[in-house]
Structure 1
Amino acid sequence: MLINSGASLTLIKSNLFHLPYYIRQSARYPSSKFQIHLADKSCLYVQKSLLLPITIANRTKKHIVYVVPKLWRPCIIGNDFIQRHNLQIDGGHQRIYFKELVVKNPITPNLDPIREKEEEYVLLASERIKIPSYHAVNIQVQPDKEVVSTEEEPSEYEVTTIKLTPCVANGVIKPQKSMNVQVANLTKKTIIIHPGQALASMTRLNEAQSNVLHQIEKTQQEGTSSNRE
């Protein structure tokens, strides 16, 4: 693993490991036009993007990574990961660690709205539903607290399953009045989802991640249009 503050995005080599199905199903596949430009003006082609758990200094963080077939290192931790998770690089002592924010007054009625947006929300089931063995259904959910936004356009959030059973399809969502997620039962027995049950976490994407996802969607639309022509 290479930690490179000069790299904008976090990358992994495509043959690094075999991913379980519940992670692979959340993959986004860009068109062949999507590329990452390097400092030497060469290009890397992105195979897909995934939300993966990454462990550094005995701490595990979930982050969107970009899978590259011909990467010269198994994994490159980029500046998007460093900034989002407040990873500290101590060159003098040859160590890395996550710096925790110290809040002098954790309970205060006047919360900073920008900081509030960075917090993690929990998506709770809004209905009771049975899921048969090896089936997936769409379930209406709601966040455990009000999502604060100062922007006209709703921000995009990462959705990450909390448990393997029930397993929520990882992906990206925009908070709105009515939200649905896909929940799978990967066991041999029928399971029941109850109202108020915690199903997934929802964390706001940083600017770099959001821009890349928009570029992927744009290239996909351009590829679809060119195929029709």
Structure 2
Amino acid sequence: MKYALITGASGGIGREIAKALASQGYCLYLHYHQNENSVDILQEQLTNTSTWKVQADLSTKNGLSKLIAEITTPIDVLILNSGSSYVGLMTDMEENQVEDMIQLHLTSTFLLTKSLLPGMIKKKSGKIVVISSIWGVTGASCEVLYSTLKGGLNTFVKALAKEVAPSGVNVNAVAPGAIATNMLADFLPEDIDTLCEEIPMGRLGKPHEVADLVSFLISSKASYINGQIININGAWYC
């Protein structure tokens, strides 16, 4: 049996990644923070494989420990998809908001990976994919901390890949642009139209397109791709 852990499996991209991995025969640990109903629906759809849902708030140390304790099998594929953004001026952020986002994006990612890596190294195989962001590559005004953290994850990918490549482990990141998920739910229709006008392909990306790229990266066809940040943004900011 092959096992995968997907953090943030309740979101639009996480759900599509789960469906893609299930179709490849993976048994899935589906992590979520608040949207349990979304994961319940997902489990009902994934009748062709075994799934376990795990609730944990990865913006806290206790949440990270809780998630790690729930993983009872060696993990073959780790999809690091949890994240949240703050839109507003850097000077308006509260200190606790900064600390929570650092814990969620960087600290939990680092320590969760540290916990699961020994099993991959022992087997001389493993795939780790970080869901980054276009803003981790180019930076975004009014999303300074989010951009900083995603940029940090990109460097994490490059550094870790060099460390574990000799052990047969691949580490890559996918950096989506504007994708049609709930992260854009607060945008007015006219704002979406304006955004699409900025994107050379003239539309938002679809969650399944991100999942297709992730599926490729964890496949044998991508065996020599390691330490890469792959943009998927319709030629926006390329």
Q: Give TM class, smaller chain.
A: under 0.3
* Higher fraction of strand: 1
Q: TM-score, normalised by structure 1?
A: 0.26
Q: TM-score, normalised by structure 2?
A: 0.25
